[in-house]
Amino acid sequence: MADPTPLDVQAGVPYSRRIRITDGKNLWANLADFEVRSQVRAGRQITSPLKADLRPFLAASFDGNDIVIDLTLTGADTRTLVGGNYDILVTDTGATDALGLRVLHGTLTIAPTTTAATDE
């Protein structure tokens, strides 16, 4: 398993991260064959309280033989996001999950910003 990758996000500032799975098309031939999931939890265990579901902010595509996963958050998204432990998984669609990859994991930190998004 890869070393943890911290995600440091500034509250109120857009954030994006691109993840590439080299030759991922050899694992899944079509976008319909897999799903990308991600959650933020209070601790590292699956039983830890859920703090956020990051699925709405994930998009998958192919670039040649590679699978590309984009995590994209607007400034409004980062203002309401809470930190914790996260991971990003790519798995078969359906209930079996015969094939799965944990492509990124670590700590998500949300740093406050001094400048407000609106004039207050």
Residue bearing tokens 């319909």: 32
Residue 1 pLDDT grade (very low, low, confident, very high; cuts 50, 70, 90): low
* DSSP annotation string for 41-56: ESSSSTTSPEEEE-GG
Length reported for the chain = 120
At the fourth CATH level, the homologous superfamily of domain 7-111 is Immunoglobulins (2.60.40.10)
Full strand arrangement of the beta sheet holding 66-73: 15-21, 66-73, 58-63
Could you read off the pLDDT of 57-99 as tens digits, one per residue? 999 999 999 999 999 999 999 999 999 999 999 999 877 767 8
Please state the domain extents for the chain: 7-111
Could you read off the pLDDT of 9-62 as tens digits, one per residue? 999 999 999 999 999 999 999 999 999 999 999 999 888 999 999 999 999 999
- Distance, CA of 118 to CA of 120 (rounded, Å): 6
